[in-house]
Amino acid sequence: MPGVPPTRFVYLGPEGTFSEQALLTLPAAVSGVRLPARSVPEALERVRGGEADAALVPLENSIGGQVGVTLAELVNGPPLLITREVVLPVEFVLAGRPGTSLVDVRSIAAHPQAATQCCGWLRTHLPDATIVDVLSNAAAAIAAAAGEYDAAVCAPVGAVHHGLTVLADKVADHPEAVTRFALVCRPAPPPEPTGDDVTSLAVYISHDRVGALLAVLMELAVRGVNLTRIESYPTGERLGRYVFFLDCTGHVAQPAVGEALQGLRRVCADVRFLGSYPRARGPHDEAGVAPARSDEFLDSEAWLARIRAGELG
């Protein structure tokens, strides 16, 4: 962790969320202060304002895709830096107050990502139930416990924490689903390279330039920098205007990645560096493509320097 290690952590609360479970995989967070936030924007603003040292927020899910509110917050407002990622297997249950049975369920509280991951099961077993969006999986459990809804889609720990009875377990359509979380801090030098790192960027292409997106991809490809993720997100300016989120293999300290970032700076309307940090691999991840070797780039730099000096032998 760059600079002073964080001791105050904020996460998407309340207690019992997957965000809290993911945060507790970090030893520093176990011994540190953990503060729940009501939303991703609130969590990140606490970091920007100095109330917390770091925030753990959901970035993407292997089934539901990007968490749009997190992406939007990372490119709007003062810059923040991703310093670590956590990949957490997610499991959902349908839970209700004691005495509730499955046939009694007419309304279900669920976070939109949870509803997406369980939509097949819900359509099959509770086709007439109304699904109501809430801010988090723990909020769903709280609402069900308060009697606002008949049941909640939530984490098993959330059901236990709020005194709910599990009406059905393993309700996710894809049992191997995982969620990727980002630990976000105020700007500082990135963590040291580990040899298995991710560099995340947000790039704004020049929309009036033919082949603008191809130019972005070429800056990476010609330097052997592997692109592992690319997603578009609306800028909010007007239809057809997007910011592209990129994840690349490697670290900004490596010559190949550094050169690629310089190239992107030249061909893009704007580039926001979101961080270089150790890769966290899920239980079913395959080994990634190795980044271009640094010695190859150092050798080519030395070769070019000799040419410029007139040393052609």
Asked whether 19 and 58 are in contact (CB, 8 A), the reply is yes
Q: What is the mean pLDDT of residues 262-272?
A: 93
> Which residue is associated with the tokens 């990135």?
190
Q: What is the mean pLDDT of the chain?
A: 89
Asked whether 159 and 166 are in contact (CB, 8 A), the reply is yes
* Higher-scoring residue by pLDDT: 283, 257: 257
Asked whether 297 and 193 are in contact (CB, 8 A), the reply is no
Q: What is the pLDDT of residue 240?
A: 81
Under 8 Å CB-to-CB from 155, ≥6 apart: which residues? 16, 17, 18, 21, 90, 91, 92, 93, 137, 138
Instruction: Give the pLDDT confidence of 100-117 residue by residue, as tens digits.
Output: 999 999 999 999 989 999
Domains of the chain as residue ranges with CATH:
1-90+176-189 (3.40.190.10), 93-169 (3.40.190.10), 190-313 (3.30.70.260)
Q: How does residue 15 score in pLDDT terms, banded at 50, 70 and 90?
A: confident
Q: What is the pLDDT of residue 35?
A: 95
Q: What is the mean pLDDT of residues 152-163?
A: 92
Q: How does residue 2 score in pLDDT terms, banded at 50, 70 and 90?
A: very low
C-alpha torsion angle, residues 32, 35, 39, 42 (rounded to 10): -90
Q: What is the pLDDT of residue 284?
A: 56
Instruction: Give the pLDDT confidence of 209-225 residue by residue, as tens digits.
Output: 888 999 999 999 999 99
- For the whole model, what pTM was predicted? 0.81
Q: What is the pLDDT of residue 137?
A: 87
Q: Is 260 helix (H, G, I), strand (E, B) or coil?
A: helix
Indicate whether 288 pLDDT > 60: no
Q: Which amino acid is present at 57?
A: V
Q: How does residue 77 score in pLDDT terms, banded at 50, 70 and 90?
A: confident
Beta-sheet strand order (sheet of 227-234): 227-234, 242-249, 197-204, 270-278
Q: What is the pLDDT of residue 140?
A: 94
Q: What is the pLDDT of residue 289?
A: 55
Q: How does residue 1 score in pLDDT terms, banded at 50, 70 and 90?
A: very low
Indicate whether 25 pLDDT > 80: yes
Q: How does residue 291 score in pLDDT terms, banded at 50, 70 and 90?
A: low
Residue 309: Cβ-neighbour burial (10 angstroms; 0-12, 13-18, 19+): exposed
Q: 212: part of which helix (H) or strand (E)?
A: helix 212-221
Q: What is the mean pLDDT of residues 41-57?
A: 96
Q: What is the mean pLDDT of residues 282-292?
A: 57
Instruction: Give the pLDDT confidence of 126-152 residue by residue, as tens digits.
Output: 999 999 999 888 899 999 999 999 999
Under 8 Å CB-to-CB from 66, ≥6 apart: which residues? 59, 60, 231, 233, 245
Indicate whether 286 pLDDT > 70: no
Indicate whether 258 pLDDT > 60: yes
Residue 219: Cβ-neighbour burial (10 angstroms; 0-12, 13-18, 19+): buried
Rounded CA-CA distance 162/145 in Å is: 7
> Which residue is associated with the tokens 């100095």?
50
Q: What is the mean pLDDT of residues 65-73?
A: 91
Q: What is the mean pLDDT of residues 274-292?
A: 72
